[in-house]
Amino acid sequence: MAAPVLLLLRALRPPVSAASSRFPSLEPVLPPSSCVVSSGWRTPPARTLQLCPALCAGHNKWSKVKHVKGPKDEARGRMFMKFGMMIRIAVKEGGSNPELNLNLAHILEQCRSKNMPKASIDAAIKSAEKAKPASQHMFEARGPGGCLLLVEVLTDNNSRTHQEIKRLLNKNGGMLSDGARHNFQRRGVVVVPGQNITTERALELAIEAGAEDIQETEDEEEKPLLQFLCDVADLNKVRASLKELGMEVLSAGLEFVPRTHAPLDEDHLDAASILIEGLNDCPDVVRVWDNIQAHS
């Protein structure tokens, strides 16, 4: 397994050149159990960013496993339903005008990037404005192999949803577990295509855009993606900066990013996939966040 790449870039000076290999082998600076790309501030103006592809390989493998299975049309319909719930939450929190509600604007951008019809988006916003009051909750859970999960729900019946989430967890090797949320940090995440972008260029883009971390991953078609992580308050600025730098922004939004990852073997990975798929099938579940990393 290749070791992480560590490049130190200083303000107003050219970045350190990367080796000719996309992921050169350098002395490791992180334990191999983590796929999170870390950054740290030292004496200003120095700043350190890491791109950790070898470790992220396990995360990429998991991203392929956990994509929704079944007929494409069915998966598409389920995805649009979840987007509708996300719109409802955003409208509840900040109103229906995306110019005044950045969270809603970012969700609508994700909807468009996934080819959700404009009529469906408009209907979801109108429906959110007229929707009956509903409660938003986050369930903390532990899954197969000790992985941690955050289950975001929107419900008009707290007791019913609590019992259903508990049933699905117990049925599939999981359990409710207070404290799981401490392993996640809410971050702004801007996603761009990763084709033909070298490690050196990715780090340059992060510095220029004001991002704190970079992660490599893949979409459901195994196309490379780059995720630029930033403080929640900086999301719009980083998104705009990347666009100005000529990058195509596929999505931008707020996500719960794990601080550490749980490496799972094939058996636990399959069990976790079944559990998360079952949770996503629950009508009240909006999203499921996990800290899973597949063994490479």
Q: What is the pLDDT of residues 183-197, one digit of tens each?
A: 999 999 999 999 989
Q: Are the beta carbons of 62 and 293 closer than 8 angstroms?
A: yes
Least confident of 6-15, 206-215, 230-239, 252-261: 6-15
With cut-offs at 50, 70 and 90, classify the pLDDT of residue 199: confident
Give the model's pLDDT for residue 63.
Answer: 57
**Which residues in the chain are classed under CATH 3.30.70.980?**
135-293
For residue 245 the two structure tokens come to 């730098």
Least confident of 56-65, 72-81, 97-106, 118-127: 56-65
β-sheet bridge partners, residue 216? 226
Among 35, 75, 33, which residue's Cα sits nearest to residue 56? 35
Give the model's pLDDT for residue 61.
Answer: 55
How far separated are the first and last CA of the chain, in Å rounded?
8
**Which residues in the chain are classed under CATH 1.10.10.200?**
71-130
Among 148, 112, 156, 183, which residue's Cα sits nearest to residue 284? 156
Q: What is the pLDDT of residues 135-173, one digit of tens each?
A: 889 999 999 999 999 999 988 899 999 999 999 999 999
Given a cut of 80, is residue 17 above it in pLDDT?
Answer: no
Given a cut of 70, is residue 58 above it in pLDDT?
Answer: no
Topology annotation, domain 71-130: Arc Repressor Mutant, subunit A (1.10.10)
CA dist., res. 173 & res. 271, Å (int): 7
Q: How much of the chain exceeds pLDDT 70, in percent?
A: 75
pTM flag (> 0.75) = no
Give the model's pLDDT for residue 69.
Answer: 46
Beta strands in the chain (DSSP E): 5-10, 39-41, 46-51, 135-142, 148-155, 175-176, 184-193, 213-218, 224-230, 251-258, 262-264, 285-290, 292-294
The mean per-residue pLDDT over the stretch 190-219 comes to: 91
State the CATH class of domain 135-293. alpha beta
CA dist., res. 280 & res. 216, Å (int): 24
